[in-house]
Amino acid sequence: MVMDSLSHRLIFIRHGETNWNAEGRLQGQHDTPLNGRGRDQAANAGREARKYIAREGLADLRYVASPLSRTRDTMEIARGAMGLDPKAYDQDDRLMELSFGRWEGLLWPEVKAMDPWAAKAREGDKWLFQPPGGESYAMLADRLRPWLATVTGDTVMVSHGGVARVLMAMIGGASTAQAPMADIHQGRVLLFQNGVRRWL
């Protein structure tokens, strides 16, 4: 799964918390707003990113977000905390979250009760399993690969947990078995550089 490591830095921010996150619901591509804690997390992430960018002396960064409202709001709050114009960033549909299809909006116990065979199959191979009407991590990797080819300079992106896990396998040194199991902290900054990853 590993592709050539990027020659540029990818500064990844996962969107802040939503009520569905707090409840443990599968969000996927359902458009849910940030809650109060999520907005605080977005501001904290912006401050952390600003410190790192200043420390490293980075300039001419590109900023891009998934088009879902929780990622756009996180980007705008983070940019405000960085002293930047909140609205001056790009959006790209390819950065949207993994789709959980018919499972979106459900809690895991509900998925297991409704579709026990499929839930068990997913636990057996999270990378390749495709939820009914949704996407596998492998399919998400196919969606992200052409976007990564557009990264021609240091970039700050705001996206989703599933996207971060796939990036870990593609450019962050994780295997396709490890990446789907990774905890992706909300409102935290994850740096991808030279084929490895680290939390700031």
| Domains recognised in the chain with CATH numbers | 10-199 (3.40.50.1240)
Question: What averages of pLDDT result for each successive group of 10 residues across the chain (200 residues)?
Answer: 73 98 97 98 98 96 98 98 98 98 97 94 95 97 95 97 97 95 94 94
In this prediction, residue 26 carries a pLDDT of 97
How far are the Cα atoms of 25, 127, 156, 181 from residue 172, in angstroms, in the given order? 27, 16, 16, 14
**Residue 4, pLDDT score:** 55
Q: Is 15 a catalytic residue?
A: yes
Neighbour count for residue 139 (Cβ, 10 Å):
15
The per-residue pLDDT for 2 is 54
- Beta strands 90-91 and 62-65, pairing class: parallel
pTM above 0.75, yes or no: yes
Q: pLDDT digits over 111-144, tens only?
A: 999 999 999 999 999 999 999 999 999 999 999 9
Catalytic residue among 48, 97, 104, 135: 97
Which position has the token pair 């962050």? 172
What is residue 126's predicted lDDT score, i.e. its pLDDT? 95
What's residue 6's pLDDT? 79
The pairs formed by 68-72 with CB atoms below 8 angstroms and a separation of 24 or more are 68/15, 68/29, 68/31, 68/96, 68/97, 68/160, 69/31, 69/32, 69/33, 69/34, 70/15, 70/16, 70/18, 70/31, 70/32, 70/33, 70/34, 70/38, 71/15, 71/95, 71/158, 71/159, 71/160, 72/158
97 is catalytic: yes
The one catalytic residue among 15, 17, 104, 160: 15
Going 86 to 8 to 165 to 197, the CA torsion angle's sign is: negative
CB 108 within 8 Å of CB 188:
no
